Amino acid sequence: MSHLANDLDMARRWLADAAHVAVLTGAGVSAESGVPTFRDALTGLWAHFRPEELATEDAFRRDPARVWDWYQHRRRMLRDVLPNAGHRALAAFQQRHPGRLTLVTQNVDGLHQRAGSEGVLCLHGDLFADRWLDAARACCRLDAAAAGSPPHCGGCGNLVRPGVVWFGEALPVAALEAAERAAHACDVMLVAGTSGQVYPAAGLAHLARRAGAQVVIVNPGPTELDDTAHLVLAGTSARLLPELLG
């Protein structure tokens, strides 16, 4: 048996015995669906921007039309892509084993939900959600926002912004707390398709390890979390997640 086959076998046994599995995913799980990562999406018209010029509240206040158009561009790019075998394996495991798997994602592309995963904890928001830039007043109604780039409140001028977590913004508290509870309570923590560089998301793997879980990484390349893991499975998520969870 090859080294990888041995490790896969061991991880499969841990998963079979686990009362509770927590999964943390990142941009890599969507790579095989053809979703460009944030940086890879900066091509064509957008090639000369840095992420901080597009994905911060300051940038939006400075030039709302430019930042809104960038998010509309990303929304359009995502409309044509489909969940891949990795997304589907996670959703199928959850359906076969109700209540045993908590899925935490840093992705804003909605592909886990489209594959059928339930209760996905979206730490960095949702690219397809809209919300108000400033606190909503009585006149602010998202379903009645005046068209524009960005849409706005016809009453007070409040602007609609995408429901993603921008650089420098706090993560949604309820999702983060639920993710921390899952990391603390799980027997196996599966970390797939993330470089493990961005906190507090990456901290969930450390939390799970300290709490006694087996930590398993699925990634074709090295990650910042490799030293925290009990097993590092080198391969893509569309290939390995079905093998692990099937």
CB count, 10 Å around CB of 207? 21
Q: Binding residue for ligand APR (CB under 6 A) from 7, 36, 37, 53? A: 37
Least separation, in Å, of the C-beta of 185 and ligand APR?
A: 23
Work out whether 78 is an interface residue with ligand APR (CB under 6 A): no
Stretch that binds ligand APR, among 92-100, 133-141, 145-153, 191-199 (CB under 6 A): 191-199
Least separation, in Å, of the C-beta of 3 and ligand APR?
A: 18
Q: Binding residue for ligand APR (CB under 6 A) from 8, 11, 31, 215? A: 31
Work out whether 88 is an interface residue with ligand APR (CB under 6 A): no
124 is catalytic: yes
Least separation, in Å, of the C-beta of 236 and ligand APR?
A: 3
Work out whether 27 is an interface residue with ligand APR (CB under 6 A): yes
Q: Do the beta carbons of residue 66 and residue 46 sit within 8 Å?
A: no
Write out the H or E segment, with its range, that includes residue 101.
strand 101-105
Q: 124, 152, 184, 230: which is the annotated catalytic residue?
A: 124
**What is the widest separation between alpha-carbon atoms in the chain?**
68
Residue closest to 214 by CA, chosen among 243, 244, 187, 179: 187
Q: Binding residue for ligand APR (CB under 6 A) from 220, 231, 234, 242? A: 220
Work out whether 56 is an interface residue with ligand APR (CB under 6 A): no
Strand partners, 122: 105
Alpha helices of 187-226 — where are they, by DSSP H? 203-210
Q: How far is CA 219 from CA 27, 86, 91, 204, 234, in A?
A: 11, 12, 19, 17, 5
Residue closest to 21 by CA, chosen among 92, 106, 121, 103: 103
Catalytic residue ranges: 124
- Enumerate binding residues for ligand APR (CB under 6 A): 26-29, 31-32, 37-38, 106, 124, 192-195, 197-198, 219-221, 223, 236-237
